[in-house]
């Protein structure tokens, strides 16, 4: 986590203090989706990039949402979406919502995948851990820009 915070600090991105566990519980109730433990740890350390558009994107155009702005994919695409996105929350976007990064959670075993959502019916799995996603993000890995059509 510290490598992510250092990456953002080096760009002058404002970082808010983290959240209490009860705040994550409230988001789970609001979205009806489980928030995995490593996301809970992340949100207890930092509240995303601190503010929404246009102020707090990084030098590539990524925005990591503050906890209170997490949105379910169902709410993002209310006119219909891939049914797998029913258990997905959006935690970041690229170039002011050109595409999204979400966490799709298995409601049974609570396992999850981090996905790139290019369209309400199209997504690609990027990683199965937040730690790996952060490594890919800091490295500006090609997989972050590769999606199925």
CB 101 within 8 A of CB 116: yes
Express each pLDDT in 35-48 by its tens digit.
999 999 999 999 88
CB 87 within 8 A of CB 47: no
Q: Which helix (H) or strand (E) holds 110?
A: none
Express each pLDDT in 42-92 by its tens digit.
999 998 887 665 557 899 999 999 999 999 998 888 888 888 888 899 999
**C-alpha–C-alpha distance, residues 18 and 59, integer Å:** 22
Q: Which residue has the tokens 């993000």?
A: 137
Whole-model pTM over 0.75: yes
**Residue 135 token pair:** 């490594």
**Which DSSP string corresponds to 70-87?**
-EEHHHHSTT---GGGGG
Q: Which residue has the tokens 């990064």?
A: 101
13-17, 38-42, 72-76, 104-108 — most confident range: 38-42
């Amino acid at each position: 986590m510290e490598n992510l915070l250092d990456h953002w600090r080096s760009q002058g991105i404002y970082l808010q203090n983290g959240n209490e566990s009860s705040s994550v519980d409230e988001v789970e109730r609001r979205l009806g989706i489980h928030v995995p433990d490593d996301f809970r740890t992340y949100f207890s350390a930092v509240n995303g990039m601190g503010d929404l558009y246009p102020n707090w994107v990084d030098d590539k155009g990524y925005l990591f949402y503050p906890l209170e702005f997490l949105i379910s994919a169902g709410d993002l695409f209310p006119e219909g979406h891939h049914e797998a996105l029913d258990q997905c929350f959006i935690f970041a976007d690229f170039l002011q919502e050109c595409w999204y990064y979400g966490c799709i959670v298995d409601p049974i075993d609570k396992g999850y995948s981090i996905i790139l959502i290019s369209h309400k019916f199209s997504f690609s799995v990027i990683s199965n851990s937040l730690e790996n996603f952060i490594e890919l993000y800091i490295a500006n890995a090609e997989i972050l820009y590769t999606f199925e059509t």
